[in-house]
Each structure stands twice: as structure tokens, then as C-alpha cells.
Amino acid sequence: MGEGTVASTLITHIGELVTNDPRADDLLGVIEQAAIVIEGAHVAWVGRATDAPPADEMVDAGGRAVIPGFVDSHSHLVFAGDRAAEFAARMTGTPYAAGGIRTTVAATRAATDEQLSGHVARLVAEMRRQGTTTVEIKSGYGLTVHDEARSLAVARLFTEETTYLGAHVVPDGTTAEEYVELVTGPMLEAARPHARWIDVFCERGAFDADQARAILTAGAEAGLRGRLHANQLTYGEGVRLAAELGLAAVDHCTYLSDADVDALRDSGTIATLLPGVEFSTKQPYPDARRLLDAGVRVALASDCNPGSCFTSSLPLCIALAVREMGMTPAEAVHAATYRGAQALDRADVGALVPGRRADLVLLDAPSHVHLAYRPGVPLVAATWVGGHPG
């Protein structure tokens, strides 16, 4: 190590350490009176504070809780403009409709790359202050070859988890058939170098299940893994399509039949619930309890976007999931960390066990329960990302 470089950090006097160790008896793998040692970018050791090995530097957590950083597996941060007026109208009864996306498309096309990356930087920093240490970012407000490719290039400046969502809505001036040709042809080619994932908004007013299948299949042939927006506004075939294709995750899952729930359980596809959307659209919340009781793996994410949900806060999503969706605080925290990592097919984040990336949050609270118990309160005292305070 160079002179002055800290090789290892011991964080001790942790009142409650949430490890998410899958080998533990309890869901969160909680260790009380705990310590953690970080070496370089990774977790080197976790256990009881009294057993902790020495390290180069020591941080005293003062009895507070430490949890894995949140993994926000669903966001749409590359956009310009806002839709505050649309939100205000919804609060007095105007329903949410997918067509509002086109408002943001116009503003996004008119923005420079620098403006777009400035907005993303601000939102990623806002997420970090609320404990998010991994974020997925979608395109989807460009909807031309050029604007989708540059949206993804901007997203890539901030995360490896970039998702091509050319199939967000059919833009003005084209037919659905023509647009699907573009999305699966030249737009896919332009997006591919910047994207890890491909997504489709499979919904009334956007794309149907046949179109979604064609787009996801073309994406898979181009080397992009699939994820899907489905069953947000009404019942439909999207969730079963995601299960059939073995996608990593299907997101929203608000309107589910028993067959949908069975398909999710049997496929292992993660159901990612986005309660900020129902908060902001005044729709009914998804029934997380039904999914968990059926054995479905459930993640929570923000869906931060200017239309259906402009929150970047996973603590808010946790509080809503506990208050409105039948999740226990432990299930909600697990869903926003461990399951979020699984929804992105990431085995290096989402847990605090030796070998995983040292992405962690020190809470200004004695336990994870406070994330739901104290809604709206900024409880993140500090974060470490890849072992670095940040």
C-alpha cells in the first residue's frame, strides 16, 4: 500500500448489522453488537465486535445500525423537464395514462447531453444521500436512434446497469409496426454498445405481449438480457411472458391473476414492486403479502421518473411497502437490498458477507425497523461504496 493509504477499516460498536447472509436462520442475517472489516473494495470480515480483528482505521458506529446499500433495480433518470402539473391534476382525479411519456420525450430530445448528464448526476447524488449504492438506469425518453443511444451513453457514465427501453411508448408520427421494426433493428444496434439490459413497457397504451416478445427476443439475440414493465395499469399477459422467457425481473406487478402468481413462483423471476408509483398515481398498491406467501421472490425499487413517480427514495418505498402492502420491515429491507441485487443478476452486492463489495449504509437509528417506523426522516448517517466513504 502507498504511504497514507488505509488498507483496512474496522467499523465497530454496530448495534445491529444486517448482513443478508442467506445461510443465516433469520431473513436479514442480523448480528447484534457487531463489527465489519472492509479491505480495499470488499467486505473482509463480519461478526461480533468482541471478536473483531485489528485494522488500520477504526470507525465507531455508536450503537447504530448498518445495512447493505440499497440496490435500486428500476429507474428512468435520463430525462429533461418535469410533469408536476400532471401530478397535481392526478391528485384531483385525472387518471395516470402511459401517453404522458410523450411530454417528457419532447423535453428530452431538446436537451443537450450536458443537461441530461447534469440531471442524472443530481438524481444519483440524491439517491446516494438516501442510501442507494447501486442503481439501474433506463433510456426511454429519446425514442429515436440518436436519442436512445445518447440517453444510454449518459446513463453509462453513472452505472453499469443500463437498460435499453426504446419500447417505452410509440412516438408521434409513426405506426406501432414501423416503430417495433426500428426498435428491433437500427435502434437496437445503436443502443447495444451502451446497454446491459433490454426492457419493454408491456401495457395498454404502450406495447402488447406479442410486440414485447419480439423485442425481447431481438434483444436477447443481440446479447441484452431481458426485463419487463408489466401489469401496472391492468391485468395482462406480460407477467406470464416474463416468467416464460425466464427474465431476471418483471416490474410493477400491480394487477395479478392467480396464474400470474403461480408463473412467478415457478419461474423464479423476481417480482419488483414499485410502491412510489401507486403513491403518485393513486392506484391500488400491489399485494406483496400474496406474492411472498406464494413463494415469489419480491424486490422493491423506486421507478424514479418524471411521470408516474418522481421519488428517488428507497426508504419511502420501504415505508409504503410495510404500511400498505403487507410486508414486514425485514422483508421490505431485504427486498430493497438482496432482492434488488438478484433482480439485476448481481452476486457482488446486496449483502454484507466476506467477498461482497463493501457497499453499506450507517443509519442514524438502532435498527432497520426505523426505516418504516420513521417515514420521511433522513436516517442515512453515512455510506461506503466499494469500500470508500461516499
Given 40, 47, 81, 100, the residue binding ligand NIG (CB under 6 A): 100
Site for ligand NIG contains 329 (CB under 6 A): no
Residue with cell 433493428: 185
Q: Does 73 bind ligand NIG (CB under 6 A)?
A: no
Query: Site for Fe ion (CB under 5 A): which residue of 21, 303, 331, 359?
Result: 303
Partner that binds at residue 277, options Fe ion, ligand NIG, none, CB closer than 5 to 8 Å by kind: ligand NIG
Distance, in Å, from the CA atom of 201 to the CA atom of 245, rounded to the nearest integer, reads 16
Phi, then psi, of 71 in degrees rounded to 5: -110, 105
Residue 232 binding ligand NIG, by CB under 6 A = yes
Position 147 contacts ligand NIG (CB under 6 A): no
Q: Name the minimum Å distance from CB 33 to ligand NIG.
A: 41
203/303 with CB nearer Fe ion? 303
CA atoms of 167 and 82, how far apart (whole Å): 21
Are 69 and 268 within 8 A, CB to CB?
A: no
Q: Which stretch binds Fe ion (CB under 5 A): 153-161, 180-188, 297-305, 381-389?
A: 297-305
Looking at beta carbons only, is 67 or 206 nearer to Fe ion? 206
The site for Fe ion, by CB under 5 A, has a size of: 1
- Per-residue DSSP letters for 10-76? EEEEEEEEE---TTSSSTT-EEEEEEEEEETTEEEEEEEGGGPPP-SEEEE-TT-EEEEPEEE--B-
User: Is the CB of 16 or the CB of 303 nearer to Fe ion?
Assistant: 303
Min dist. Cβ of residue 368 to ligand NIG (A):
27
| 337 Cβ neighbours under 8 A, 6+ residues apart | 18, 20, 67, 68, 69, 70, 71, 350, 351
Nearest CB to Fe ion, comparing residues 30 and 317: 317
| C-beta of 201 vs 384, nearer to ligand NIG | 201
Contact flags string 280-319 toward ligand NIG, x per CB under 6 A: -----------------------x-xxxx-----------
H/E run at residue 363: strand 360-363
CB of 137 to Fe ion, least distance (A): 11
Phi, psi angles (nearest 5°) of residue 189? -60, -40
Ramachandran assignment for 388, one of left (phi > 0), alpha (psi -120 to 50 degrees), beta (any other): beta
Please report which residue ranges of the chain form alpha helices under DSSP H. Answer: 84-91, 101-110, 113-129, 145-156, 176-184, 186-191, 209-221, 238-245, 258-267, 275-281, 288-293, 314-324, 329-336, 338-343, 370-373
Pairing of strands 270-273, 65-68: unpaired
Q: Segment contacting Fe ion (CB under 5 A): 11-19, 91-99, 144-152, 303-311? A: 303-311
Q: Would strands 65-68 and 360-363 be described as parallel, antiparallel, or unpaired?
A: antiparallel
Least distance to ligand NIG, CB of residue 284, Å: 15
Among 10, 37, 52, 101, binds ligand NIG (CB under 6 A): 101
> Which residues contribute to the site for ligand NIG (CB under 6 A)?
76, 100-101, 104, 201, 229, 232, 277, 303, 305-308
> Which residues contribute to the site for Fe ion (CB under 5 A)?
303
